[in-house]
Chains A and B, each alone.
Chain A
Amino acid sequence: MHGLRSQLLFLFLAFGTCTISQATERVLRVAVLTNSPPMSYIGDVGQLVGFNVGLAQALCEEMEVRCALTVVPLEHVIDSVATGKFDFSAVSLLDTPERRAKVLLSKPYYRSTSIWFAKPGIEPGTSSVRVAMVAGSAQFRYAQARSWKITTVQHHSELPALLVDGKVEAVLIPMTTSLTLRKDQSIQSLGLVTTVMSQAELSGDVCYAIDPKNPELRDSINKAFDKIKQDGRFDRLNSKYLPFRLQ
C-alpha cells in the first residue's frame, strides 16, 4: 500500500513537472528587422538591439514566454506571419487595409509619419525623381501606387550610399528611422532637406503583425502592451533609443 502511494506521488510529481516545464518552455517565434536603427539593428557586440527588439523582449517577459527573434526582410514580414512561420513580428507596421486583411494587428503602440529626404527644390511627387525606399514598406506601396521611379533596398542602412552616389534624389522612410538617417555623417554634405508627409497612407497608427490563427496571442500582446506602457518599461526603452516620446 505504501509502495503504491509512493508510485502515485511520483507520477503526480512527474506529470506536474512536465506540465510546468512545457509551460515554461513555450517559445514564440518573433520576426524582427535588422539594419533599421534605432528600431532594430546589430549592436556593438553583435547582438540584436533597438527599440522594437527591447519592446519584443519586454512583451515576452510580461507574457512569461520565451521568444526566439529571427531577422526577416521587411518585404517578407507580413507573408511570413500570415503563413504562420512566425507568431508575431516586432516590426513597426502602419495599420493599412492590405495588412489587416492578411494578419492580425496589435493595438497601436504609437503613431508615425513618413519623412521625405531630398535635395533642396525636389518636392515629393515629382515624376522624374528617383526615390529610394525599403521594399515591403508602406512608403513603397504609396510610391508604387503613384508610379514613382523607385529604387528598393532591403535595409534602411543601404539608403545613405544611394544618396551619396547620386543613384537616387530622394528617400521616403518612416519617422523613427529618419532620425538615424539624418545623423548619418556621409549625407551631411548633401544639404538634404526634409519634409514631413502626413498623408493617410504614410502616417497613422503603428502596430505589430500577429499570426491570424492566434487571436489569443493578440489579446495577450495587447494586455502586455498596456502593462509595459503603464509600468514605465515602454518609456524607458523610448528614452534609450529615441529623442522624444512616441505616442
Chain B
Amino acid sequence: MIMPDQSILERLNRLGWPTGKAFALLCGVFVSIFLALVLWLAVDQRLVLEGAERLQDKTVPSTLEHFRLARNIEQLRLEGERVLSGRSPVERQQAMFIVSLIASHPAMLADARASALAREVESFLTRSAREGLSEKNNSEWVTLTNRLSLLADDLSIEGVNLETEDLRHMTTTMLQSHIKLAVVLALVAVFVGSFLFLIHRHLIRPLQMMSQTLSELRFGQPPSPVEASAMLEIREVEAAIGQLQKVMLENEQARQRLEFLATTDSLTSMFNRRHFMTLAEEEIKRAHRYARPICVGMADLDFFKRINDSYGHAVGDVVLQSMTALFAKALRHSDWVCRYGGEEFAFVFPETTPIEAQHLAERLRHFAAENRIELSDGICLRITLSVGLADASAGSLDEALKRADEALYEAKSRGRNRVVMAAASDIGERIDEIQVPANERSLH
C-alpha cells in the first residue's frame, strides 16, 4: 500500500518542484488549515459569548425572579402568621388582604406549585379567620408553614441552579476550547517543524553541498557526488556549477598542455632552453644566497651529423629521444637538463661540487657509451657524449654556461667522448680533463 505512494513521490521529486510555488503551496495549505482551526476555535468563543449573554440577559433575571417568588412565599407565611395572631382585627384584615394579593399575583399564578400552595394557604386562612384558630387548625398551619418554607428554599435553589447550569455549559465549552487550542498549537508546531525540515532538506543542505563543491573546485579537488535536489531552481544552480566545474577542468587541462608546450622540447620532452634558463637562474640565485655548491654542464652527441647523413633525420630524432631515458637513468632527480639546441644539452647540478659534477658527468658519459640504440630495421647504434662542466657557485649563469661550453669545445678538440671541467673563473684558462679509459676510446 505504501510503495505506490512512495513511487509517486519519487517520480514527482525526479520531475522537480519550483521552489517558490512549492513553498507557496505549503504555506497556502497551512494557512487554510490554520484559518479552519481558528474558525473552529471561534465557534467556541461565540458559544461562550452567547452563554455569557444568555446568563446576563435571561438566566440572572430568571434567577432573581425565582428569588422574588421565594420571598413572596415567605411573605405569605409571615402575613399568615399576622392573620392568625394579629393584635387587632384591622391588622388581621390587612394581613388577609395582602395574602389575597400575593396568592392572586400573576407571578404566583404562573408557578403551579406556588399557585396551588398559595391558594391552599389563602383558603386555610380565610377559614381560620372565620372559625378561629383551633388545635387542629394550628397543626395544619404548622404543616402549611413548613411547606411554604420548603417551597421557598426549593425556588431559591432552582434559581441558583439556573445559573449553575449555564456556567457548567460555559465551563464545558471553555474546556473544549482549551483542548482545541492545544490541538491547534500542536499542529502549528508540527507545521513549523516540517517547514524548517523541508527548508533544511531542500534549500540549506543543497546550498551547503554547492558551497562544498565550489570549495573543492577552488582547491582543484575532484567534486563529491551530489544527489539531485527536488527543487528546480536548486537543480539548475547545481547544473550550472557542474558546467562551471567542467569548464574549469578543461581550462586546467588546456593550461597544463600550454605549460607543457611552453616549457618542453617537442621531440625529446625535455625542458626547452628558455624554461631551463629560468630554472637554472633560480637555482644559481638560491645557491649564491646560501653559499651552496652548484655546477652547470654542456653535452654534445659526438658525430651526430654522420648519423643524420647516414641514417636520415628520423633516426637522428630517435637517437635524440633515447637521450631522455638515458639522462633520467644517469642523473639525479634534483638535476635539471634541457635540449639546448640541435644535439646539444645543458645541465644544472644543484648542491654539487665540481668533483661530484665530474663524477656525475662521467657516469652519464659512461652510460651513453654503453647504451645501444636499436632501430626498427635491426641496426644497433652506439653514440658517445662529450661533456663540458663549469663551477657556477660564483658568477652568472651565462658566464658559467659559456665556460662549460668552452670546456665542451675542449673535450671535442681532445678527441670527444670525454668530460672536461672548466677552470674556475678567477684562475684563468686552465681546464681539467678527465681521462677516458683506454677500453672506452675505441667505442666512438
Contact count band on A:
20 to 34
B69 in contact (CB, < 8 A): yes
How far, in Å, is B126 (CB) from chain A's closest CB? 11
Instruction: Say whether A120 faces chain B, with CB atoms less than 8 Å apart.
Output: no
**Interface residue from A112, A182, A244, A245 paired with B94 (Cβ < 8 Å):** A182
Q: Which residues of A contact B444 (CB under 8 A)?
A: none
Contact indicator B100/A245 (Cβ below 8 Å)? no
B104-112, B279-287, B318-326, B376-384 - interface stretch:
B104-112
Q: When the two chains form the complex, which single residue of A112, A244, A247 contacts B98, counting CB atoms closer than 8 Å?
A: A244
- Enumerate chain B residues within 8 angstroms of A235, measured Cβ to Cβ: 64, 68
Chain B: interface size category: 20 to 34
Asked whether, in the complex, the Cβ of B106 is within 8 Å of the Cβ of A243, the reply is no
A247 to B64, alpha carbons, bound, how many Å? 10
CB neighbours (8 Å) of B72 from chain A are 244-245, 247
Interface residues of A in 201-235 (CB under 8 A from B): 203-204, 226, 229-230, 235
Task: Give min CB distance, B317 to chain A, whole Å.
Answer: 103
Pick the residue among A115, A183, A230 that contacts B101 (CB under 8 A): A115
**B60 contacts the other chain (Cβ, under 8 Å)?**
yes
Which chain B residue has the least Cβ–Cβ distance from A197?
A: B104
How far, in whole Å, are A178 and B100 apart by their CA atoms in the complex? 12
Residues in B with CB closer than 8 Å to A226 are 57, 61
A243 touches B98 (CB 8 A): yes
Flag whether B71 is at the interface (Cβ < 8 A): yes
Chain A 236-247: CB-based contact to B (< 8 A → 1; otherwise 0): 000000011111
Chain A CB within 8 A of B102 CB = yes
Q: Are A243 and B68 interface neighbours, CB within 8 A? A: no
Question: What separation, in Å, do the CA atoms of A194 and B104 have in the docked complex?
Answer: 12
Interface residues of B in 21-61 (CB under 8 A from A): 57, 60-61
In the assembled complex, A13 has its CB within 8 A of some CB on chain B: no
Decide if A63 is an interface residue (CB 8 Å cutoff): no
Instruction: Select from chain A the residue with minimum beta-carbon distance to B96.
Output: A194
Query: Shortest distance in angstroms between B87's beta carbon and chain A's nearest beta carbon?
Result: 14
Contact pattern, B 73-117, Cβ under 8 Å of A = 1, otherwise 0: 001000100000000001001100110111011110100000000
The answer for the CA separation of A183 and B94 in the assembled complex, in Å, is 7
For residue A198, CB closer than 8 A to chain B, the reply is yes
Q: How far is the CA of A194 from the CA of B61 in the complex (A)?
A: 32
B104/A198 in contact, CB under 8 A: yes
B69 near A247: Cβ-Cβ < 8 Å: yes
Residue B343 at the chain A interface, CB threshold 8 Å: no
B351 close to chain A: CB less than 8 A: no
Chain B contacts of A27 at CB under 8 A?
A: none
A247 to chain B: closest CB distance in Å?
A: 3
Q: CA separation between A188 and B88, bound complex, in Å? A: 12
Q: What is the CB-to-nearest-CB distance from B93 to chain A, in angstroms, rounded to a whole number?
A: 8
B105 contacts A113, C-beta separation under 8 Å: yes
Q: B60, B64, B75: which contacts A244 (Cβ < 8 A)?
A: B75
| Residues of chain B contacted by A246 (CB below 8 angstroms) | 68
Given A188-B90, A245-B71, A247-B69, do A229 and B61 touch, yes or no (CB 8 Å)?
yes
Expressed in whole angstroms, the Cα–Cα distance for A194 and B100 within the complex equals: 9
- Does the CB pair A245–B104 fall under 8 Å? no
Contact check, B75 vs A245: say whether CB atoms are below 8 A apart. yes
Chain B residues within an 8 Å CB radius of A178: 97, 101
**Closest partner residue, chain A, to B76 (CB atom):** A244
> Which B residues lie at the A interface, using CB under 8 A?
57, 60-61, 64-65, 68-69, 71-72, 75, 79, 90, 93-94, 97-98, 100-102, 104-107, 109
Using a CB–CB cutoff of 8 Å, the interface residues on chain A facing chain B are 111-113, 115, 175, 178-179, 182-183, 188, 194, 196, 198, 203-204, 226, 229-230, 235, 243-247
A sample of 18 cross-chain residue pairs with beta-carbon separation below 8 angstroms, ordered by A number, consists of: A111-B105, A113-B101, A113-B104, A113-B105, A113-B106, A179-B97, A182-B93, A182-B97, A188-B90, A194-B97, A194-B100, A196-B104, A226-B57, A226-B61, A244-B75, A244-B102, A247-B105, A247-B107
Leading 9 A-B pairs by shortest Cβ distance: A247-B107, A196-B104, A245-B68, A111-B106, A244-B75, A245-B71, A182-B97, A245-B72, A247-B68
